[in-house]
Structure 1
Amino acid sequence: MQKKAKNRWLIAASAVGIHISIGSVYAWSNFTTPLMEEFGWTAKQVQFTFSLAILFLGLSAAFMGHFVEKYGPKKSGLLAALFFGVGIIGSGVAVNTGSLTLLYLFYGVFGGIGLGVGYIAPVSTLVKWFPDRRGLATGLAIMGFGFAAAIASPIMNDLISGVGIANTFFVLGISYFIIMTLSSLYLAKPEEGWVPKGFSEGGKKIPQDLSQLTANESIKTRRFYYLWIMLFINVTCGIAVISAMKPLAVESIGLTKEAAAALVGGLGIANGLGRIGWASISDYIGRANTYTAFFLLQIPIFFFLPNITTQSIYAVMVVIVYACYGGGFASIPAFIGDLFGTKQLGAIHGYILTAWAAAGLVGPLFAAYIKDSTGSYAGSLTFFAGLFVIALVVSFLIRIDIKKLRAKLDEKVKNSVAS
């Protein structure tokens, strides 16, 4: 007797549980000032903790993708819960001992590994459970990652002022460990041959993947590098603006620091909604068209943004940037599934996410360098507009590969019907 299939919407809810937990990394800035005041550490020293976590997110996603494919989403999720939980709880120990090195080790390294494994494990599984609505499903989970900071920030602030920094880490670490563990226990791959209700023999057709490649086969193709370049440029330009949004708004349109802080909070919502919105749209217009839209929208925005002085126009422009930034992350797993299949999607996704790790270093550092050299962010924004032109060209080049793959697939189907 065949086992009853799990509810795929509960699988999606479990994925959201994991992503809301690990996405709290984006609320790291809540600890910056309290740590500097308590220990006399510099902003650069404290900020390096966050950079280290993002670096290890990218590295662990790349190296642990094969682990996710081999051992499945449940074990991978539990491993992520262990690393992330230990990382956050250990950060409390680091604070109690006043050790910056231990903070780097626990939050940066252990927490970062938990981030990377926790990021790819549920997403690769969702693509398999939602062959008919890949964008929507992955957008839901990755939206959780985007919204996590908005949920975590007020909780962190209340805890820090109420129980202190170390105890805040202890409370959060235990809470995240429990949420991630319970979420992981429900995660599972669908049974071989499973299809959603209504898509059985004679029912609606599920779009066929253009190929079924292993991770090592995928990196020998041109389209892998096209995807990597597009994600790298979208994240580099977006994260540079995000990292400097508050001073940029003060410098460009004369907002007060309080108004700029409020704008940044509102833009976090645009980031989260962009993830679910763009990923869902990609199910209807196609992933290649979605990425082309990102670049067509952002080229003029980055080119004209330094000269915009009207607050409402400026706000609309940066909302679009934040939405496209989030949408790029949410659409990429479905794009990978379309082009390479689901055989080793987690591992391929891990390889592609090295673009995030690289962009996280390049974007903010370049923007800061231009600001220090010229006294303004304007030069970096114009440069990023040029990068988006390159990305736009790549979004057309990948279509050539897609067209060839589709022709090959159609020929194969035609031959199998004929025989």
Structure 2
Amino acid sequence: MNLAKKRWVTLIACCFINLCLGSIYVWSVFASSMAEFLSAHNGVSLTTADLAIVYTVANSVGPITMITGGWFNDKFGPKKVILAGGLMVGIGMIASGFATSVGMLVVTYGLIFGLGLGMTYGTAVSSCMKFFPDKRGLIGGITTAIYGLGSVILPPVVTLIVSKSSAPTAFKIVGIAFLIIICGCSFLMEQCPADFKPEGWNPPAAMKQGGAENKNWKEMLKTPVFYVMLLLFTCGAFSGMMVISQASAVAANMVGMTAVMASTAVSVLAVFNASGRILAGLLSDRIGRISTLTIATVLGVAGLLLLYFTGEGGYVTFYIGIAGIGLSFGSFMGVYPGFTADQFGAKNNSVNYGIMFIGLAAAGYFGPSAMRSIYRVDGAYGRAFLVAAAFGAAGFVLTFVYRFFTNKRKRGI
């Protein structure tokens, strides 16, 4: 198979892999049933809040294996790395079905599954980016959108399995399915040759604006623009991570939606999140990554301000607000893999993007934490929206700081 065809096979395999990895967004479906099971098994009263540490650990450890797995990917190719990550994802899920305590879940799901997810996700996305230097934005958008769509496609499937059996059984069934799909797709993943260039394509001048020679992680960390990009990622993703974590509660407590309507709001947010990844990726190939991210920060701030002014029964402003936040967050997720490759080169992008992902991990920790703390003190979400809007405004400013550094570099100053 020639490389022109092989890159599309790699993309399809990556999409199936990322769809499985998006199952992390289904944790809430497992959590309530698992809390009931563990309560009955141990003779104690547990709630989903008691299991929140499992989800937090799973999200927090991902960057570790994104970086280490990225190093192995850049050296040896994606096949072995994704196979190892797929085994960890599948085994972690299956083992969670045998857990009899929160501590066991922290190990099986939080650590084994979480580390496997980071290794597999980072390697799959970066491998695709190398095959599509001509469509980095679009491919970054598609691969990350499929990951996000896991929150739309998988919940009803897992809910059905849980309702027909139990959370432990669902963990085992889903784990076996993921083990087969991810490990099977790993054999379709290929290492992109360093000199690969799609037929008839030449790098445009815009892709060279940051001086995108291949930098390793040490060289990347020595550049001021890396820290600007890292902070921009945190500021841009802050609102999305904050609202996604509490979307259902916001819909119910602030707007007065029923449980069914609140679940619909979560789905709307997920759809705009996924759509934003593809649309922003495509747009960034046309007008540039930083211009697209500038627009994304404005959308995010506008969405947050709409939520701030939304009260009981304000369905229209609520839905428009979460749509803007979803598009903004999706834009950052879709654009950043290609943005990182443009700036520091594709050769070491697996490791470099893994390090850049720390910016998202920071947003994932501080965003939800800020919202919980403010709601606990105020009994309302308003101040949290203003805090997130301030982060979004800082992100808007950082897009111009980025331009300053890249223009300075172009002038050789």
Name the TM-score class by shorter chain: over 0.9
Counterpart in 1 of 2:283?
281
1:372 is displaced (CA, Å) by 0.6
Counterpart in 1 of 2:272?
270
State whether structure 2 residue 147 is matched by structure 1 residue 133: no
Partners of 2:52 and 2:179 in 1: CA distance: 24
| RMSD (Å) for aligned C-alpha atoms | 1.8
Which amino acid letter does the alignment assign opposite residue 54 of structure 2?
T
Q: 1:249 to 1:342 in 2, by over 3 A?
A: same
Q: Is the 8 A contact 1:128 1:190 kept in 2?
A: yes
% identity of equivalent residues: 27
Which amino acid letter does the alignment assign opposite residue 340 of structure 1?
F
Which amino acid letter does the alignment assign opposite residue 43 of structure 1?
T
Counterpart in 2 of 1:72?
77
Q: What TM-score does the superposition give when structure 2 sets the normalisation length?
A: 0.92
Partners of 2:166 and 2:371 in 1: CA distance: 34
Counterpart in 1 of 2:335?
331
Q: Is the 8 A contact 1:292 1:395 kept in 2?
A: yes
1:304 is displaced (CA, Å) by 4.0
Residue-by-residue CA offset, 1:47-68 (whole Å, 9 max, x unaligned): 2111110011122223432122
1:206 is displaced (CA, Å) by 4.9
Residue 77 of structure 2: SS of its match in structure 1?
Answer: helix
1:7 is displaced (CA, Å) by 2.3
Counterpart in 2 of 1:416?
none
Which amino acid letter does the alignment assign opposite residue 148 of structure 1?
G
Counterpart in 1 of 2:27?
28
Give structure 1 stretches of 5+ with no counterpart: 412-419
Correspondent of 1:158 among 140, 157, 160: 160
Correspondent of 2:2 among 1, 4, 13: 4
Residue-by-residue CA offset, 1:371-418 (whole Å, 9 max, x unaligned): 01011010111111111121111110001222234445xx9xxxxxxx
Partners of 1:215 and 1:368 in 2: CA distance: 35
Counterpart in 1 of 2:62?
57
Partners of 1:13 and 1:192 in 2: CA distance: 21
Residue-by-residue CA offset, 1:138-178 (whole Å, 9 max, x unaligned): 11111111001222111111111223222211111111011
Runs of 4+ in structure 1 deviating by more than 6 angstroms, as ranges, are none
Q: Is the 8 A contact 1:27 1:153 kept in 2?
A: yes
Give structure 2 stretches of 5+ with no counterpart: 40-45
Which amino acid letter does the alignment assign opposite residue 83 of structure 2?
L
Residue 143 of structure 2: SS of its match in structure 1?
Answer: helix
Q: Is the 8 A contact 2:141 2:282 kept in 1?
A: yes
Q: Is the 8 A contact 1:86 1:173 kept in 2?
A: yes
Q: Is the 8 A contact 1:252 1:306 kept in 2?
A: no
Residue-by-residue CA offset, 1:354-377 (whole Å, 9 max, x unaligned): 122222221111101000101101
Partners of 2:307 and 2:296 in 1: CA distance: 16
Counterpart in 1 of 2:386?
382
Q: Is the 8 A contact 2:302 2:321 kept in 1?
A: no
Counterpart in 1 of 2:301?
299
Which amino acid letter does the alignment assign opposite residue 196 of structure 1?
P
Counterpart in 2 of 1:236?
238
Q: How many residues align?
A: 400
State whether structure 2 residue 347 is matched by structure 1 residue 343: yes
